[in-house]
Structure 1
């Protein structure tokens, strides 16, 4: 994100009209490419549209799928039992101002979720996002997505590392557009600040027995 002095320098430049022309041309081309991406995207493909480029995703490794499944099971069960909204995994296309993403796990509060029809395919800004790191996605998860999610007011963002078995919990403070690291955990329990009442052992994300125990203890 450009700081105010950088913007002032651009605004004062004699080249501003030319800069604006280049930017507008670039964004117009992106809009057309984005429409084409959405038309051609099929349910069988996981892909994202980032800064004018289509990013195709390779099949996920077992460790990634297992971690995603365990968290999804816990979060989805809790959200539906408490009637808090809707949880989706992997294929929900969230459409931000410039980019389209398919996060690993997303939560929408009840108000937003109530607007989704059975055929809904292009989703608004979620309230909570989780990305599970992989070799091919880590740079984006910590880079453009980290910045974009914050800029769009997604109040809570978890980054899960399958290899380190850690969860990083990032939150937006009031009136801020940059994430604050609330905590990085390799054990103990983690409580969501957005999904009211949702608290789980960190181990339940990485271990099947701990996951089953958490479900039995919290939802049994």
Structure 2
């Protein structure tokens, strides 16, 4: 993930750039960030996570969205515009849907790391999602075959809820009874 523009721009300028670009672009406080194209392993992991979550969510009120889909994070307590494109979002509050994007805070967000976006997902987005109140944030690292699940505690800070590397079942705290076989998730 690298910065697309060196100087801050307006949200209107961002949407103009987006109209003329095929790149996956995110907007955080005036700065534009470009996501790398996903690798083969990234796509496989994403598809497996989606399949597991879709099966779990069947008949439940929440809905899964995958990249590229814009999430405009919105909170009464935070100023500025943040438009992110998580790899996977699970949304339960349907009131934020527009024709173009979701405006609000998803229940759960999953980001799958690539070599070039690690610090963006591990630091920038972790803090962003925590501050906006995303209940659960999964960081999936295909280079290490690991998954880390962060959940909000009573102080509205992220704490590590679960972490698995290579083997075991990674569990969700927010979605009771949901787990994924990590070995199966990362198989070639």
Please give the alpha-carbon distance, in whole angstroms, between the structure 2 residues aligned to 1:141 and 1:134.
9
From the superposition, tell whether residues 148 and 76 of structure 1 become closer, same or farther in structure 2 (CA, over 3 Å). same
Contact 2:150/2:158 (CA < 8 Å) preserved in 1? yes
Aligned counterpart in structure 1 of residue 84 of structure 2, from 101, 107, 110: 101
Separation in 2, partners of 1:122, 1:179: 23
The alpha carbon displacement at 1:183 in A equals 2.3
Larger relative contact order (Cα-Cα within 8 Å, sequence gap ≥ 6): 2
Shift of 1:72: 1.1
1:70 aligns with 2:48: yes
Q: CA RMSD in A?
A: 2.2
Find the counterpart in structure 2 of residue 91 from structure 1.
68
Tell me which structure has the larger Cα radius of gyration. Answer: 1
**Pairing partner for 2:59 from 62, 82, 87:** 82
* Kept in 2: contact 1:92–1:123 (CA 8 A): no
Alignment pair present for 1:53 and 2:31:
yes
Q: Residue 104 of structure 1 contacts residue 130 of structure 1 at CA under 8 Å; is this kept in 2? A: yes
Aligned residues: 174
The 5-angstrom pairing of residues 94-173 of structure 1 reads 94-96=71-73, 97-109=80-92, 112-113=93-94, 116=97, 119-173=99-153
Q: Which runs of 5+ in 1 are unaligned?
A: 1-28, 209-220
Whole-angstrom CA distance in 1 between matches of 2:34 and 2:100: 22
Unpaired segments ≥5 residues, structure 2 = 1-6, 74-79
Q: Could you say which structure has the higher helix fraction? A: 1
Task: Determine the C-alpha separation between the residues in 1 that align with 2:56 and 2:22.
Answer: 28
In structure 2, the partner of 1:181 is 160
Structure 2-normalised TM-score? 0.82
TM-score by length of 1: 0.71
Deviates more, 1:138-147 or 1:88-97: 88-97
